[in-house]
Amino acid sequence: MDSPLGPREEIVLHGHRICFHRAGDGPAVLLVHGITGSARHWELLFPILAERHTVIAPDLLGHGESAKPRGDYSLGAFATGLRDLLLALGDDRVTVVGHSLGGGIAMQLAYQHPERCERLVLVASGGLGAEVHHLLRAATLPGSELVLPVLTGDRLRGLAAGAATALRRVGLDAGPDLAEMVRGLDTLADAQTRHAFLETLRSVVGPGGQKVDARDRLYLAESMPSLIVWGEHDPIIPAEHGVDAHRMMPGSRLELFDAGHFPHLEHPFEVARAIGDFVAETEPAAISVEDLRARVLAGASDAD
């Protein structure tokens, strides 16, 4: 059966293979998946958005079918990699949509390269508060390298029912959250992917929770149209993070759904409509270096 994402394309950037899907015509939308994910996480949303937009969905470095080198898996490195992908594809400006880890990357892209971002959409985004599910915190502890191989690959597939039961005991009920967590563990079957996962996770999460917090820079998005999408029953990152961010981002929109951590999987048509309406009803940002400098200096003058 053909994937809703259509054919996979590849490009080599800085010596590493990046896989992506691209379809449609119209204003460009870049979809950035979360940790242990891939472009597949957007397969329900992708064809709907592609009816009116040029949609680009890459597998991040270290994820999916893209290369998994030893290297820098920080938010800044991911953001720069996406900028280079857009440059190579000739898509100069995009509405960037990020889910979970991808939300943190989207914010970093908007912060580092505002000239590339017309709008910002955050879906159950990381980087907006410390709270995060304790399973992710535990995975950053020393020795997790020895535990992960036991939970992944053929062993996990053979014990899928047991894995599901164990995850339910820690608050992940049946539905997309549970299914995607099991699938995410299943992607970690090989050592290269596990290394990339741990490097990525430890760059943003520690035993005490999320280490990266963008809230002190949200004022910089004042002139960038922003949409925040969240599931009200998110067990991974609490919806309160999105509500608080909405208050801190003047002019932003907030859409809450009866969903968990993957509202775009539980309500793909509604989330696609919210994104499509948002793109159609807002003017793209055009933030100059002078604008950004003025905001940074204003923020510096407001510091304690």
Out of 234, 252, 264, 267, the active site residue is 234
Question: What is the enclosing helix (H) or strand (E) of 18?
Answer: strand 16-23
pLDDT for the residue 301: 64
Please give the Cα distance from 11 to 285 (Å, whole number). 28
Domain ranges of the chain: 9-131+211-296
Verify whether residue 252 is a known catalytic residue.
Answer: no
Q: What is the pLDDT of residues 160-200, one digit of tens each?
A: 445 555 555 555 555 678 778 778 877 888 899 999 999 99
Out of 100, 125, 203, 226, the active site residue is 100
By 3-state DSSP, what share of the chain in percent is helix, strand and coil, each rounded to 5?
45, 15, 35
Verify whether residue 190 is a known catalytic residue.
Answer: no
Predicted structure pTM score: 0.91
Cβ atoms within 10 A of the Cβ of 251, count? 12
Verify whether residue 21 is a known catalytic residue.
Answer: no
Beta strand pairing call for 54-58 and 16-23:
antiparallel
Please give the Cα distance from 120 to 105 (Å, whole number). 11
Q: What is the pLDDT of residues 89-113, one digit of tens each?
A: 999 899 999 999 999 999 999 999 9
Beta strand pairing call for 28-32 and 94-99:
parallel
Class of domain 9-131+211-296: alpha beta
Mean pLDDT of the 62-76 span: 96
Please give the Cα distance from 228 to 298 (Å, whole number). 25
List all residues 6 or more positions away from 119 whose beta carbon is below 8 Å from its beta carbon: 95, 96, 224, 225, 226, 227, 278, 279, 282, 284, 285
